[in-house]
Every structure is written in C-alpha cells, then in structure tokens.
C-alpha cells in the first residue's frame, strides 16, 4: 500500500483528517495534566518501632538488628539502613531501582516485619511499616487564628480538611502542627504516699470504672433484648468523680480529692508550626495520580476565598506552598519557549527554502506536535518541563524529514517529472532512509528510557516524546508534505548550480582534504584528544539548584535539645527575617512569607525534598522570596546571622533541589563493627576535610553525645524495702513522663488518660531524687534515693547502621563556586591510602553527589551498548555494509569536540543533563552522516565515478545538512536562554556539538569514506 498515493488521490479525506488532528490535538493539549516534574517511583519504605525508655544501644541490639535481618530476606532489596535513637528505631528499606511495581514488594515487607514480633522484647510498640512517606503534598495551606484558642483552630482545620477531601483530584489531606489531646491526672507525691496509693492502683480503679462491655442479651417473648451497662466516661467531670477505695482506711474518696484532673495536650509537644512567625496549623494536600494540578489549584483557591467569608475576623489562610502556581508558570514558560522555537525554525525555513517551500515544510511542525499530543495523552504522558523540553529538542530534528522530502520533490520536478509523479517517487525513494534516520535518532535516546535509576525514570519522557514526535513527523512527511507540494510547489526545469563562491570554496577544501587523508585524520584525532583534555577543565555538577523562588533553612541543634529551646532559636531566626528581610512598604524586595516546622521537616512539598523524622532538636523553615534571583543573597544573609548569633546551631541553607535530593554534596560513609575504632577514623577524616578547604558544616550524622540519668538500682536495699525493679520503672514513668491509665472517648476521638506527678517535680534532678517509688500492689512508697543511686552519664545520641554494620556519614557543604567533584578528587587518594592502614576494621564509601551522579550516569552507560547495537543493525540494514556503519558511528566522537569547546566558552558545567545532551547529540550527528552516505549511493547508482560521486554527494547534501543544523541550533536557543540552569548545559551540548560536528561531518566523513573504500584523488 502506497500511503503517499492514497493521501494525494484522496485529498479531501486527507484534509479532513488534518482538521481532525488539528482540533483534537488542540483540545488534548488544553486538557492534558500538567506538572512541574514527571516524578518517579519511590522505592523506599520505613519501619518504625517504639521501645519507650530504651537507650540507642539497646534499641539497636534488640529492635533494629532483628528487623534488619528479616528485611535482608527480601530478594529485591538494594540496601537497608537503620537509625536507633532513645526509644525509637527507624529502619529504611531501599529497593533496587530496576523494580517498578512496588505493591507486592511492600506486602512481602509487611510479612517479613510481622514475623519479627516474637523476637522483639516486651514493651515494644509496633513495628509499623510506612510505604507512603513518598507522597508529595504540593499544596500547603496554613491557618492562623489571632484571638482564638488552639481547640477552635483545630476545629477549623478539621472542617477545611473535610472540604478538601470532597475534591475528586485530592488523594490525601494531612494536618501538620496539630497537638494530640490528653487527660492528665496529676498527683502530689506526698499526698499519694500519705494515702498509701500507687499509680497502678489508680489505673485499676479507672479501668474498672471506664468500660464499654456488652452485658449480653436474652429472649423476651419473640424479641431479643440486649443489655448495655453504663460506666464509660462521658465527660472530664466523670473522670473526676471516679471513686477510689483507700487501702487500709475503709473509706472512699473522689479522684478529684486525690489528684488534679486537667485536659491538655501532649507535653512536651512533639512538633510545632509557625506561619510567618505566628502559631499555626497547616493543611497539606496531595493530588491523586493523573490529576490536573491547575484545576485543583483553582478549586482550592476558590474554596479558600469562600472560607475567608465564612469565618470571623482573625482567621487567616495562607498558601505557603502552592505547586499549581509553580506548574502553571513553568509550563507557560516552556510553552512560550516552544512557540518561540517554532517561530524561529519557521522563519529560517522561509528564508532558506523560499516562501512556497518554506510554508509547505513549516506545516510539518504544528501537525507533528498536535499528532504527538494525541499519542502522548493516550500513553498518559503529561505536560511538564521534561516532556516540553523534549518537544523543543525534537523540533529541529523533525523538520529534517520535511526538508529532505520537499527538496527531493523539487529536484525531480526540475528534471521534468510532473508534481504527482515527483511526490510519489520521492516518497518511495525516501521512506526507508527517512525512517532509518528517525529510528537511529530515537535509538540514541533509548538508554535514557532503559536506565534503571530514579534519574533515568525522571527523564524517561525525553525518549518517549522524541520518539513520538519524530515518528509523527515521518508519517506526515510521507502524506501531507507530498500532497501540499503537488498543489503549491512551482518549479521550472533547471540544473542545480554549484558555481557560487561558497560551493567553489567548499569543493576546494574538500578536494584538498581528500588528497591529504592521513593529515586530515591525524589533525582530527589531535583535535579530539585536545577536546577530551578540555573536559577536565569543565566544572562537574550533578544537578544545578532549582530556580524556584523559595529555599530551605534546615536548623539542627545539639541532639537532645528540648523542643522549647528549638522553638526559641526558631523564634529568633524568624525575628531576624521579619525585621531585616521581609517585604514591607519601604522594602519592595525580600522575603514574602515563610513556614517553620519545629520538631520535624514538614510534608514532602516536592518530590526531591526529603523530610526527616520527628526530632525535638530539629527545625525546618521554608522561606519564599519575592523573586528567585534574590535567593542566593537571602541564603547568604540568613546563614551569616545564624553563624554569628547561634554558635551551637548547625544551619544548612540551600535552594530546593532539582532531581534527586542530596543532603550533603560531599559525603563519605565509614562502616565497621567497633564504634570506638570507627570514630577515630571519623576524626581523621574530618581533619582531612578541613585541611583541603572549600568545605563548611563538616559534621557526622551520629551527632554529639547526650546526657542521660542512669538509675543504678541497689538490689539488696530495694529488696529490704519490698520494692522490685518493675516498681521503680513504673514509678519513674508515672512520675516523669506519665503513665497511661485508660482512654476517654469523645465522639469519634479517643483521648488517653495519663497519670503523672505535678510539674514542679518533673523538671529538675532533685525532684527525681525525691520521687516516690511505689510498691504497685500495696501503695507503700519509699524515696527513690533510698533504693537507687543516680548518675549523670554521656551516651550516644543516635546509632546508624547500613547493611548490618555501624556506619557514620561524614558530610559537608560547599563554599562559593567550588564543586563536589573537585573535593572528591582531593579526598579520594587520601582515602585509598588510609584504607590500607585501616584494613578490614573500617570500609569507606563515597556518598553525596559522587554516589548519586555515579549511579545515574552508570545506569545510562550500562544501556549504551543496546543503543549502539540497535543503531548498528539499522545502519547495516540500510546500507548492507559494515564499513558504512562504522563510518557513521565514528562521527559520534566528532560532536564531543564541540561539546567541550561550548561548555568551556560559555562557562557551563558537566552534569547529568549535559550527559543527556551528549546522548541526544549522537542521534543528530548520525543523521547527517546517513544523509550524506545515502546520496553517495545514489550517485554511484547513476554511474558517476567514485571520487566524483563523493564530491557531488557532499555538495548536494550541504544545504539540507546545514539547514537541519540551523533549525536545531536556533530552535534550542529559547531553551538555552529561558529554560533555566537545569536545561542550559543540555542545550549548549547539543548546539555547540552540532555546530562543530556539522562542519567536520561535511569534511571528515567524505575522507573516512574515501579511506575505507580506497578511492584515489
């Protein structure tokens, strides 16, 4: 079937199909889901287990190690790491990046974790598997309520949550900063001792009073009657009215006469939240997969405006994180870049091909794009910066099909064929070469799609969109372009003239190079080697920082710091931001708003943001600037203030990350079984990092040691007093932290009822010494100092393990324009020398950017042989020649010469996106060589002498090759100028590489051909 003939002979049907594609493509584009980034599968889960009161060492030995051993049985496991802190174990399970269907893996993980329950000690709460901490909450709305109490603020937040869950695109809503309610029964030690009561006896009294137990049922005639005894607490007053039997006194007392019953919140709070310095709650919204970000943003904004009208003065709503606005801006910018690129390419073709031919070929661009949108929608590919950049990259390449087709039709018409015959014959002649050229270009992008890494998955739509667009271009070049050429191209019979100054000069240079092939190839090799050497002077950055207008201020105080002290430090930082940086009537540029998460890092607002677990000594501020260009200066000023005013504060202030997040650009992990030996080597590593310079905030993840009170129980003294170790532990927990007695149910809410000593005895060491230890069964009490000695000791704050070995990660931030690659280059030789001395006691691994970029780049390099094999098969199939395939593949290194020169000239960096640009460049360079060799074959088929065929083919393909280069380079200019730091190196790599490789292709490929085929000149 000849689709070109069908399109021309059934031109009405072709026109109708074009209109359908135009209308359907436009509507599809307007309705496609939009996102900032395409995202990737989160391949990590957390297993959290609580072991109240246990030291980090005991948590490691009794909990973390047991769970780790069970997790290691999962066949898909990449690595497992654990964090053991006082009273809590957090085991993070990381799955190999080659797996995408995570549900069966997480189900298996749950079974493995459940199997450890019999091996864990008594008193453990959990373990709990969380495989959803990768959810992204792109909308965060804070609610402040001046003049209202917390309960009223919480009620408003719950109402907002209920309203948000009604939207179809909302998957999950969480409230951050909320405080869990508690009913506290606070007793006085002296009073309880006087009455001979113990906390356990209070607990028993409340448990037996607060019941929800069926009384059974019985038959009454033909009816079945249920019995429901009363007794459960209906109010706080009911708890106060609980009757307590005083042992040995034969009298009853109300609980309120023995202790104070108050309603409050967890004390101390686990986390707090401020919105621009005011106490607040935050409502975080996660969108469902495939949802429309822009529509959801409009719905939330409309709802917020309605709520402002409903609630009284003093209730304020603020969108501190609002991804729909970011997405809309980013997509609009890239669409603008795409339209500019289309305009530039169209103008180039109009000027170079003439008005009629230029207009005919220009129709290929919108039609290919609209057809691509239809296919993208069918394959669930949305609009984001990756897919839109792919369209811009493909733009210059897709016109190549139309240019070659239109020019070939013109040549045949000039030779005397009528328009229809010329169009059909051209399509028959070029359909396989054009398809092969498109497929080779697509194959060059294949490693990006096949890469088994998060970054590969993140950028995989580059391959898919380029493939879709180029194949759409090929289809339209075989149907629509020939039809339009038949009706619009007007040519007269004439011979192509190559007598201009340009062609005479080109022929002279080419002939000279063909006659001096050895010198030409030698110079080319030398230039290539110089270019490779030049890459050593190009800075190396994995991913440039994000160009978002907000940044993160991570605050870490010494481990064990009370959350009240952390809040005080945050308040001081907020005061500085408000007084010196916040936008006011007199200060037009600066900080517009911020949100402070105290005790945690808040929700995952973008995919590359990694929140930390709850920690009282930790806080995170997300600060929004009026302009993204102000971010570097604001980071510098806030960092200087933190350093000058809080010497014990570790402040890490940086822009949001593009691509995978890296906590420390420079990081080295040391692993071993002996913590003392490990830390001797850690100290040596820190000293070396300080010596090489250029690094700040050199810290390790174990943190500083913390103080703790060790209660040394004197067993003989305790035995004489009739007190057991359990009595002492329970009395300490009740007196200091609080002991849960029972639960109070209020509607749908369950509020724990806690017993604890009065506050004056809980926050000082003397109060601990005088704490009463109760014999829980009788109520008899003795002072703690009578049965135990108290000692203040220093203990490890946290213990990290990786794959079963204690592991310390030593990390640092970078100063100024220094790159992580430079520092790793200085550190690695020293580490290799140290490894010889350390032996097997300590092993090191490079982390940070070295590990992330190494994994990402290697994942693509591993798939390059597949792409090379596909391209080789296509080349050999096209030409039935291995020599020609080798010639074509040898042109790929020619592009690297331009890449090196371009990166150095424009002061850009070598990173993952640059690497993608080089991979993309390979497909375009190959295309030029294919077009040239195909023309040589046609010349030989017409009986032209071999040497002359090379020269004729080179000069005949000069204009199409130069035109393709011009359209590709100029089409990428908007991406280079307006795509931001992330896309700049990729655009440079393709533009500079293509410019140099085009010149070399037109000169060196004919020389290679003549060398391989021994053509004499």
Among 401-405, 765-769, 834-838, where is mean pLDDT lowest? 765-769
CA distances from 532 to 586, 820, 908, 920, 925 (A): 53, 21, 16, 18, 18
DSSP 8-class letter at 753: E
871 and 998 inside one domain: yes
For residue 174, what pLDDT is reported? Answer: 92
Residue 704, class by beta-carbon neighbours within 10 Å (0-12 exposed, 13-18 middle, 19+ buried)?
A: middle
Query: How many Å apart are CA 472 and CA 478, to the nearest integer?
Result: 10
Q: How far is CA 899 from the centre of its chain?
A: 28
487 and 510 inside one domain: no
Q: Is the pLDDT of residue 9 over 80?
A: yes
Nearest alpha carbon to residue 82 among 859, 802, 824, 845: 802
470 and 365 inside one domain: yes
For residue 618, what pLDDT is reported? Answer: 92
Q: Is the pLDDT of residue 759 over 70?
A: no
Q: Residues 18, 19, 24, 29: is their CA dihedral positive or negative?
A: positive
Inter-residue contact 244 to 252 (CB < 8 Å)? yes
Nearest alpha carbon to residue 989 among 890, 880, 908, 874: 908
891 and 981 inside one domain: yes
Q: Residues 369, 375, 377, 379: is their CA dihedral positive or negative?
A: negative
The CATH code of the domain that includes 101 is 3.30.70.1430
Inter-residue contact 296 to 287 (CB < 8 Å)? yes
Rounded mean pLDDT of the chain? 85
Q: Give the structural domain span for 364.
A: 1-31+354-491
841-883 pLDDT tens trace? 889 999 888 888 888 888 888 888 998 889 888 888 888 888 8
Phi, psi of 87 (to 5 degrees): 85, 0
For residue 764, what pLDDT is reported? Answer: 63
Alpha helix segments (H runs only) across 816-945: 820-838, 848-861, 864-879, 882-889, 892-905, 912-941
* Assigned domain for 824 exists: no
Residue 892, class by beta-carbon neighbours within 10 Å (0-12 exposed, 13-18 middle, 19+ buried)?
A: buried
896-951 pLDDT tens trace? 898 999 999 888 888 888 888 888 788 778 878 887 888 888 888 888 888 888 88
873 and 982 inside one domain: yes
Query: Three-class SS of residue 46?
Result: strand
51 and 26 inside one domain: no
Supply 8's token pair: 């021309």
pLDDT confidence band for 886 (50 / 70 / 90) = confident
The CATH code of the domain that includes 212 is 3.30.2090.10
Query: How many Å apart are CA 990 and CA 393, to the nearest integer?
Result: 9
Nearest alpha carbon to residue 423 among 363, 485, 361: 485
Domain boundary among 133, 161, 184: 133
Secondary-structure breakdown of the chain: helix, strand, coil percentages, each rounded to the nearest 5: 55, 20, 25
How many Cβ atoms sit within 10 Å of the Cβ of residue 499? 8
Query: How many Å apart are CA 50 and CA 64, to the nearest integer?
Result: 10
* Assigned domain for 564 exists: no
379 and 469 inside one domain: yes
202-238 pLDDT tens trace? 777 777 776 655 667 777 777 777 776 666 777 778 7
Nearest alpha carbon to residue 272 among 754, 599, 523, 677: 599
Half-sphere exposure of 609 (CA within 13 A, CB side): 26
Supply 810's token pair: 């030593």
CA distances from 282 to 149, 270, 272 (A): 16, 15, 10
Most confident of 183-197, 614-628, 914-928: 614-628
Alpha helix segments (H runs only) across 557-630: 563-576
Query: How many Å apart are CA 466 and CA 395, to the nearest integer?
Result: 9
Query: How many Å apart are CA 881 and CA 514, to the nearest integer?
Result: 22
**Average pLDDT of the residues in 646-656:** 88
Nearest alpha carbon to residue 35 among 331, 453, 397, 391: 331
CA distances from 604 to 134, 137, 320 (A): 7, 6, 13
For residue 597, what pLDDT is reported? Answer: 94
Number of domains the chain contains: 4
DSSP 8-class letter at 930: H
Residue with tokens 């004489």: 720
How many Cβ atoms sit within 10 Å of the Cβ of residue 515? 13
Q: Is the pLDDT of residue 777 over 70?
A: no
Inter-residue contact 844 to 664 (CB < 8 Å)? no
pLDDT confidence band for 640 (50 / 70 / 90) = very high
Inter-residue contact 436 to 401 (CB < 8 Å)? no
For residue 943, what pLDDT is reported? Answer: 83
By DSSP bridging, strand 788-795 and strand 798-802 are unpaired
870 and 951 inside one domain: yes
372-430 pLDDT tens trace? 999 999 988 888 888 888 888 888 778 878 888 887 888 788 777 788 888 888 888 88
* Assigned domain for 190 exists: no
Query: Three-class SS of residue 807?
Result: strand
Phi, psi of 614 (to 5 degrees): -55, 135
Inter-residue contact 705 to 796 (CB < 8 Å)? yes
Query: Three-class SS of residue 222?
Result: coil
* Assigned domain for 651 exists: no
1004 and 859 inside one domain: yes
For residue 942, what pLDDT is reported? Answer: 82
CA distances from 852 to 81, 446, 485, 701 (A): 17, 21, 51, 18
Supply 705's token pair: 């040691």
Residue with tokens 């995570």: 102
* Assigned domain for 1003 exists: yes
CA distances from 239 to 174, 212, 861 (A): 31, 15, 68
Supply 851's token pair: 């590990």
Long-range contacts of 108-114 (CB under 8 A, 24+ apart): 108/74, 109/45, 109/47, 109/71, 109/74, 112/70, 112/71, 112/73, 112/74, 113/47, 113/67, 113/70, 113/71
pLDDT confidence band for 816 (50 / 70 / 90) = confident
How many Cβ atoms sit within 10 Å of the Cβ of residue 793? 10
CA distances from 449 to 42, 102, 919 (A): 17, 19, 12
Supply 490's token pair: 């007007």
- String of b and e for 446-485 (b: at least 16 CB within 10 Å)? bbbbbbbbbbbbbbbbbbbbbbbbbbbbbbbbbbbbbbbb
* Assigned domain for 776 exists: yes
Q: Is the pLDDT of residue 492 over 60?
A: no
Query: Three-class SS of residue 144?
Result: strand
* Assigned domain for 289 exists: no
* Assigned domain for 653 exists: no
| Bridge partners (DSSP) listed for residue 139 | 285, 322
Inter-residue contact 707 to 793 (CB < 8 Å)? yes
The CATH code of the domain that includes 398 is 1.20.1640.10
pLDDT confidence band for 104 (50 / 70 / 90) = very high
Supply 846's token pair: 């490079």
Nearest alpha carbon to residue 266 among 182, 368, 178: 182
For residue 40, what pLDDT is reported? Answer: 77
In this structure, the chain runs to a length of 1017
pLDDT confidence band for 355 (50 / 70 / 90) = confident
Inter-residue contact 933 to 1009 (CB < 8 Å)? yes
Nearest alpha carbon to residue 998 among 939, 906, 925, 937: 925
What is the pTM for the complete model shown? 0.82
528 and 484 inside one domain: no
**Average pLDDT of the residues in 8-19:** 88
108 and 230 inside one domain: no
473 and 365 inside one domain: yes
């Amino acid at each position: 079937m000849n689709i070109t003939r069908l399109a021309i002979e059934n031109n009405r049907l072709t026109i109708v199909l074009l209109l359908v594609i135009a209308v359907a493509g436009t509507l599809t584009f307007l309705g496609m889901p939009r996102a900032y980034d395409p995202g990737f599968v989160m391949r990590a889960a957390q297993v959290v287990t609580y072991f109240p009161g246990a030291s980090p060492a005991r948590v490691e030995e009794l909990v973390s190690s047991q769970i780790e051993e069970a997790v290691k049985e999962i066949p898909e496991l990449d690595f497992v790491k654990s964090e053991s802190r006082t009273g809590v174990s957090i085991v993070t399970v990381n799955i190999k990046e080659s797996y995408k269907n995570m549900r069966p893996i997480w189900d298996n993980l749950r079974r493995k974790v459940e199997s450890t329950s019999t091996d864990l000690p008594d008193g453990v709460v959990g373990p709990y598997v969380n495989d959803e901490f990768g959810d992204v909450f792109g909308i965060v709305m804070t609610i402040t309520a001046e003049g209202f109490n917390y309960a009223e603020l919480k009620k408003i937040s719950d109402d907002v949550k209920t309203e948000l869950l009604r939207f179809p695109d909302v998957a999950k809503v969480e409230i951050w900063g909320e405080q869990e309610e508690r009913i506290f029964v606070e007793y006085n030690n002296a009073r309880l001792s006087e009455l001979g009561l113990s906390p356990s006896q209070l607990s028993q009294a409340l448990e037996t009073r607060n019941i929800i137990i069926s009384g059974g049922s019985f038959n009454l005639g033909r009816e079945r009657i249920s019995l429901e005894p009363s007794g459960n607490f209906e109010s706080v007053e009911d708890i106060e009215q609980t009757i307590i039997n005083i042992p040995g006194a034969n009298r009853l007392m109300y609980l309120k006469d023995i202790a104070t019953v108050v309603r409050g919140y967890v004390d101390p709070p686990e986390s707090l939240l401020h919105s621009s310095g005011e106490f607040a709650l935050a409502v975080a919204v996660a969108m469902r997969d495939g949802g429309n970000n822009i529509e959801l943003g409009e719905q939330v904004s409309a709802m917020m405006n309605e709520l402002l009208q409903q609630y009284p003065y003093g209730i304020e709503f603020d969108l501190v994180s609002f991804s729909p606005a970011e997405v809309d801006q980013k997509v609009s910018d890239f669409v603008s870049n795409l339209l500019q690129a289309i305009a530039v390419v169209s103008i180039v073709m109009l000027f170079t091909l003439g008005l009629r031919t230029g207009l005919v070929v220009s129709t290929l661009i919108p039609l290919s794009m609209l057809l691509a949108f239809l296919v993208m929608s069918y394959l669930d590919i949305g609009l984001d910066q990756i897919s839109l950049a792919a369209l811009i990259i493909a733009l210059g390449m897709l016109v190549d099909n139309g240019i070659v087709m239109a020019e070939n039709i013109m040549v045949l018409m000039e030779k005397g064929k009528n328009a229809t015959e010329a169009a059909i014959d051209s399509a028959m002649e070029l359909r396989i070469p054009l398809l092969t050229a498109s497929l080779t270009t697509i194959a060059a992008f294949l490693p990006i799609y096949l890469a088994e890494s998060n970054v590969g998955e993140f950028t995989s739509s580059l391959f898919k969109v380029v493939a879709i667009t180029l194949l759409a271009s090929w289809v339209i070049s075989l149907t629509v372009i020939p039809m339009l050429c038949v009706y619009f191209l007007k040519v007269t019979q004439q011979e192509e003239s190559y007598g201009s100054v340009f062609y005479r000069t080109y022929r002279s240079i080419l002939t000279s190079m063909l006659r001096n092939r050895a010198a030409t190839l030698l110079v080319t090799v030398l230039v290539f080697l110089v270019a490779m050497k030049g890459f050593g002077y190009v800075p190396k950055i994995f991913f440039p920082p994000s160009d978002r207008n907000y940044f993160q201020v991570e605050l870490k105080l010494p481990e064990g710091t009370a959350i009240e002290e952390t809040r005080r430090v945050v308040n001081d930082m907020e005061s500085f931001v408000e007084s010196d940086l916040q936008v006011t009537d007199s200060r037009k540029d600066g900080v517009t708003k911020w949100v402070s998460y105290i005790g945690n890092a808040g929700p995952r607002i973008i995919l590359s943001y990694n929140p930390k677990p709850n920690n009282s000594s930790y806080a995170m501020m997300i600060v929004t600037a009026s302009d993204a260009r102000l971010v570097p200066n604001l980071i510098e000023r806030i960092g200087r203030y933190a350093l000058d005013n809080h010497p014990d504060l570790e402040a890490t202030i940086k822009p949001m990350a593009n691509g995978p997040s890296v906590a420390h650009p420079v990081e080295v992990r040391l692993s071993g079984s002996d913590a003392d030996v490990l830390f001797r080597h850690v100290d040596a590593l820190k000293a070396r990092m300080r010596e090489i310079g250029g690094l700040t905030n050199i810290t390790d993840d174990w943190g500083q040691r913390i103080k703790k009170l060790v209660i040394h129980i004197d067993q003989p003294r305790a035995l004489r007093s009739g007190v057991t170790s359990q009595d002492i532990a329970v009395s300490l927990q009740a007196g200091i932290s609080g002991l849960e007695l029972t639960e109070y149910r209020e509607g749908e809410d369950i509020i724990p009822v806690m017993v604890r000593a009065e506050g004056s005895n809980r926050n000082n060491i003397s109060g601990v010494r005088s704490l009463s230890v109760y014999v829980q069964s009788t109520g008899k009490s003795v002072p703690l100092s009578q049965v135990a000695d108290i000692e203040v000791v220093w203990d490890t704050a946290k213990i990290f393990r990786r794959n079963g070995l204690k592991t310390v990660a030593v990390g640092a931030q970078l100063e100024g324009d220094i790159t992580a690659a430079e520092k790793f280059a200085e550190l690695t030789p020293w580490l290799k020398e140290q490894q010889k001395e350390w032996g097997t006691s300590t092993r090191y691994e490079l982390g940070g950017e070295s590990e992330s970029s190494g994994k990402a780049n290697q994942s693509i390099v591993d798939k390059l042989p597949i792409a090379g094999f596909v391209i080789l098969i296509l080349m050999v199939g096209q030409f039935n020649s291995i020599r020609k395939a080798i010639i074509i593949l040898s042109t790929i290194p020619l592009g690297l010469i331009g890449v090196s020169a371009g990166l150095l000239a424009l002061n850009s960096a070598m990173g993952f996106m640059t690497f993608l640009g080089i991979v993309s460049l390979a497909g375009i360079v190959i295309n030029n060589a294919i077009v040239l060799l195909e023309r040589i074959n046609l010349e030989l088929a017409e009986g032209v002498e071999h040497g002359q065929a090379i020269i004729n083919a080179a000069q005949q393909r000069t204009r199409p090759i130069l035109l393709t280069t011009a359209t590709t380079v100029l089409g990428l200019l908007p991406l280079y100028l307006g795509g931001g730091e992330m896309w700049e190196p990729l655009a440079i790599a393709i533009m500079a590489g293509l410019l140099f490789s085009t010149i070399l292709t037109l000169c060196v490929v004919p020389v290679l051909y003549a060398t391989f085929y021994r053509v004499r000149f």
